[in-house]
Amino acid sequence: MTALSALFLRDLRVAVRIGGGAMIGVLFFLAVVALMPFAIGPDLALLQRIGPAILWIGALLASLLALDRLLSADLEDGSLDLLLMSGTPLELAVAAKALAHWLTTGLPLVIASPVFALFLNLDLAATGAVAATLLAGTPALTFIGLIGAGLTVTLRRGGILLSVLVLPLAIPVLIFGVAASNAAIVGPLPFGTPFTILCALTLISLVIGPFAAALALRQGQE
């Protein structure tokens, strides 16, 4: 088994164990989605109209919340130093960690979104559109978040700063995710246009994220 696949599987296993935080994101997602109708009121037509946006904001906030544990656990037990010293390219190592993080944090959000769409009175087409855009967009959120995690991992209370740094970079993903969802529901723009841009954002983040994060980890050493 190569070092990368070992790292990947180890991250997967740690995440699903108790204290790993895999399902906390889904609970927070649920909290945000459940709170919205209380704040907005029971107007079902309105909830249906802004449903995709609520789901996307919930997924974004849940992703931001979970980013803290992407690298900080490794810093605490010293495995971050091992990664920096090992022969494996750091870019690939952090990419493997981010992929494992997405599978255990982002993907559950995607799977949970159709269930939560029920709370917001979304019909089948809307639910499908939102789930598809979340599937395409949540990897971008994780890999952009990887950059913030790399920059703030050595800071004591870096969690809030991490969210502050990642948020401006994640706004375009949010914009195109919601635009694609709304395009599928009400048009007139075809679903493909914003969805393609969303996929492009994800692909770009898959490259820039690991490189920027690896650079940040190297430069951030004492």
Partner 1 sequence: MGLIDLANPSRFLSLTDRLLPWLAGATALVFAIGLYQASLAPDDYQQGATVKIMFLHVPFAWLAMFGWTVMTIAAFGTLVWRHPLADVAAKAAAPIGAAFTLLCLVTGSLWGRPMWGTYWVWDARLTSVFILFLMYLGVIALWRTIEEPTRAGRVTAILTLVGAINIPIIKYSVDFWNTLHQPAAVMRLDGPTIHSSILIPLLIMAFAFTLLFVTLHLAAMRNEILRRRVRTMQLMRAQAAPGH
Nearer to partner 1, 170 or 184 (CB): 170
Q: Which of 111, 164, 186, 207 binds partner 1 (CB under 8 A)?
A: 164
**Contacting residue, 66, 149, 151, 179, with partner 1 by CB under 8 A:** 151
Position 155 contacts partner 1 (CB under 8 A): yes
Binding mask 38-77 for partner 1 (x = CB under 8 A): ----------------------------------------
CB neighbours of residue 116 within 10 Å: 23
Does residue 215 belong to the site contacting partner 1 (CB under 8 A)?
A: yes
Note the residues at the interface with partner 1 (CB under 8 A).
147, 150-152, 155, 158, 161, 164-165, 167-169, 171-172, 175, 208, 212, 215-216, 219-220, 222
